């Protein structure tokens, strides 16, 4: 019974009013002949049709049926094949691909919004094109020309899909201890042996071939992560015409039985002298794989936002229709819609405020990635790198929180499968775990992104935001200036501590920074409102949601600050046996 309608109006508001990206596109030589506002809106509207009509209505069915393994083959829900072909025929699998190899070359800001729609429709389904897009980024940056011509064109077209094979049963985030090996063959290829687990979209029959990007170690490789290389291992080896022919020695051992995303084939893959081809330089595989991490982790944020958006839409509709209790005393025998209850309003406003700020934040990060790519802007690249852990961790934390809160709006019905809310809770939960757990993201943010350069990028960002608030004030500016000053001061104080203390403070610190930046997102929303362009209802909704955020959510920063300056010695006082 869960439904979905793409939030096109808020997406275009962020693109063209908040961040004015149509002006940027027209000023950039690589984009000005490719994309403008009307084209972008048409792309979003067409993507919305597929998500709303062909994917979202059947997400519950896909969850119940799931991916199934029999005789070494994985079968998927039947409508996945139809929906995937619609994506292929519409060119959606090539949306952000390099035009030189058949891609449409659209900016990340646009493909990010399509990602959000797909995740709202069905996170499990979104992973098939999503993992392919990540594989394409790695190949584009590091493969040789012949490999790009052979494989990228098919991946962009959607004829083939891609995976990323990193994790092993004993080696999760600690990739340096992996055991998968690659030995040179006489023909320049390599024989890979080993097993990878948790491989998303690792086996299926949506496409005629699957291209696995596999991390493995060459003979006599340096110890640890410095000895990892990247290999391309196709499910089917290619004939002289570049078409799939002989089955490679990579096979699915099992599929995981998971809490959620049941339509996604999460596989154990076994490589038994599987033929692979080196991508990039030997022992540089991890850096090759990390090339696409900024893009992939933004996609993880889209999973959190996408699930939260669908949860909000359905909780809002339910709250308007569900008659329960009496808010007024006019008729003691007449129940009223629960949206009149203050606590239901509190829950809905919390979700709305975080969702809309999250969409503005994701658009901002995507725009920074675009400016780094198309303008070679160093500052934009540094800031995108800084904010990537927040897009992955904070946005997915908020996604789960939103789905649980929306489920609460439904009361007992939220716990029943038919209403679709419990699926959203189960599906979005994984986003906090894979692509690097959120605790790892926080440590990365604290230690590698902030402490590593003594806070220069973060403090510089705070300074630029502060200057903007001073030069273009609105109703939120004064409050935000105070929060930024306090956060800036605490950052400099924390950076005087050692890395052990910083690691323990990482999660709280990242959340504190994120709440402040979400406040800035609401400042940008309010600043962009224009009575000549936007309806009175739209303006009223934005202004009052911004006020709610600043008054009722942003003060969480104060509590986090108090936590961060408190005595943390107890944190390190217990030995493992004392727990």
- CA 39/CA 31 separation, integer angstroms: 12
Pairing, β 160-165 against β 209-217: parallel
446: left (phi over 0), alpha (psi -120 to 50) or beta: alpha
- The closest alpha carbon to 563, from 483, 494, 481, belongs to 494
Rg (CA), the chain: 24
- CA 36/CA 150 separation, integer angstroms: 31
- CA 340/CA 334 separation, integer angstroms: 13
- CA 32/CA 461 separation, integer angstroms: 28
Q: Which structure tokens are listed for 58?
A: 């059947």
- Catalytic site includes residue 205: no
Which residue shows structure tokens 């306090």? 486
Question: Counting Cβ atoms within 10 Å, is residue 423 exposed (0-12), middle (13-18) or buried (19+)?
Answer: buried
- CA 368/CA 320 separation, integer angstroms: 38
Q: Which structure tokens are listed for 302?
A: 């889209």
- CA 446/CA 41 separation, integer angstroms: 37
- CA 293/CA 173 separation, integer angstroms: 14
Q: What's the length of the chain?
A: 579
Catalytic residue among 116, 256, 309, 435: 435
CB 114 within 8 A of CB 6: no
Q: Which structure tokens are listed for 274?
A: 């599987």
Distances from the Cα of 302 to the Cα of 53, 112, 198, 366, 394, angstroms: 20, 7, 20, 11, 11
Direct distance between the N- and C-terminal alpha carbons of the chain, in angstroms, rounded to an integer: 45
- CA 519/CA 84 separation, integer angstroms: 38
Check residue 572 and report its DSSP letter.
G
CB 211 within 8 A of CB 135: yes
Q: What is the DSSP string of 470-503?
A: HHS--TTHHHHHHHHHHHHHHHHHHTTS-HHHHH
Convert 300-360 into a string of H (helix), E (strand) and C (coil): HHHHHHHHHHHHHHHHHHHHHHCECCCCCCCCCCCCCEHHHCHHHHHHHHHHHHHHHHHHH
Question: Cβ neighbours of residue 210 under 8 Å, at least 6 residues apart?
Answer: 160, 161, 162, 163, 201, 202, 203, 204, 234, 235
220: left (phi over 0), alpha (psi -120 to 50) or beta: left
Helix ranges (DSSP H) in 66-188: 78-89, 108-121, 123-142, 145-147, 153-157
Q: Which SS3 state, helix, strand or coil, does residue 29 take?
A: coil
As annotated, the active-site residues are 435
């Amino acid at each position: 019974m869960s439904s979905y309608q793409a939030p096109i109006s808020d997406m275009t508001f962020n693109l063209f009013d908040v961040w004015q990206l149509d002006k940027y596109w027209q000023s950039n030589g690589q984009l000005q002949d490719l994309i403008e506002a009307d084209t972008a809106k048409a792309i979003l509207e067409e993507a919305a049709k597929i998500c709303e009509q062909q994917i979202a209505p059947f997400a519950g069915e896909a969850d119940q049926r799931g991916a199934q393994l029999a005789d070494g083959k994985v079968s998927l829900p039947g409508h996945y094949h139809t929906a995937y072909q619609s994506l292929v025929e519409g060119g959606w699998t090539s949306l952000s691909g390099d035009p030189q190899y058949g891609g449409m070359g659209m900016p990340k800001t646009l493909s990010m919004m399509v990602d959000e729609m797909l995740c709202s429709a069905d996170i499990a389904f979104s992973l098939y094109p999503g993992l392919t897009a990540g594989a394409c980024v790695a190949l584009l940056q590091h493969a040789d020309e012949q490999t790009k011509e052979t494989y990228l064109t098919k991946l962009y077209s959607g004829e083939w899909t891609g995976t990323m094979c990193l994790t092993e049963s004993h080696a999760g985030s600690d990739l340096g201890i992996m055991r998968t090996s690659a030995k040179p063959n006489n023909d320049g290829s390599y024989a890979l042996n080993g097993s990878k687990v948790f491989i998303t979209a690792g086996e299926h029959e949506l496409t005629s071939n699957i291209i696995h990007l596999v991390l493995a170690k060459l003979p006599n490789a340096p110890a640890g992560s410095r000895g990892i290389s990247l290999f391309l291992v196709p499910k089917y080896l290619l004939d002289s015409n570049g078409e799939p022919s002989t089955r490679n020695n990579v096979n699915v051992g099992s599929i995981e039985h998971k809490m959620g995303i049941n339509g996604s084939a999460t596989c154990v893959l076994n490589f038994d002298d599987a033929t692979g081809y080196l991508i990039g330089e030997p022992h540089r595989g991890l850096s090759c794989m990390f090339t696409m991490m900024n893009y992939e982790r933004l996609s993880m944020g889209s999973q959190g936002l996408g699930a939260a958006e669908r949860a909000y839409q359905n909780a809002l509709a339910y709250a308007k229709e569900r008659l329960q209790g009496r808010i007024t005393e006019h008729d003691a025998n007449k129940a009223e819609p629960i949206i009149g209850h203050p606590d239901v309003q509190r829950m809905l406003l919390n979700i709305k405020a975080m969702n809309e700020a999250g969409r503005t934040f994701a658009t901002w990060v995507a725009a920074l990635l675009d400016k780094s790519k198309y303008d070679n802007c160093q500052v934009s690249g540094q800031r995108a790198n800084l904010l990537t852990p927040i897009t992955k961790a904070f946005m997915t934390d908020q996604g789960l929180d939103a789905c649980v809160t929306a489920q609460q709006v439904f009361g007992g019905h939220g716990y029943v499968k038919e209403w679709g809310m419990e699926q959203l809770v189960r599906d979005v939960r994984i986003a906090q775990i894979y692509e690097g757990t959120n605790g790892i993201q926080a440590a990365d943010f604290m230690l590698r992104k902030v402490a590593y350069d003594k806070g220069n990028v973060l403090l510089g960002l705070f300074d630029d935001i502060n200057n903007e608030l001073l030069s273009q004030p609105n109703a939120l500016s004064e409050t935000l200036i105070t929060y930024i000053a306090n956060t800036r001061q605490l950052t400099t104080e924390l950076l005087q501590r050692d890395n052990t203390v910083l690691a323990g403070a990482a999660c709280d610190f990242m959340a504190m920074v994120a709440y402040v930046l979400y406040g800035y997102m609401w400042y940008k929303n309010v600043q962009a409102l224009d009575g000549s362009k936007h309806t009175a209802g739209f303006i009223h909704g934005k202004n009052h949601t911004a006020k709610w955020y600043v008054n009722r959510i942003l003060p969480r920063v104060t509590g986090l600050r108090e936590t961060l300056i408190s005595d943390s010695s107890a944190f390190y006082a217990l030995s493992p046996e004392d727990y």
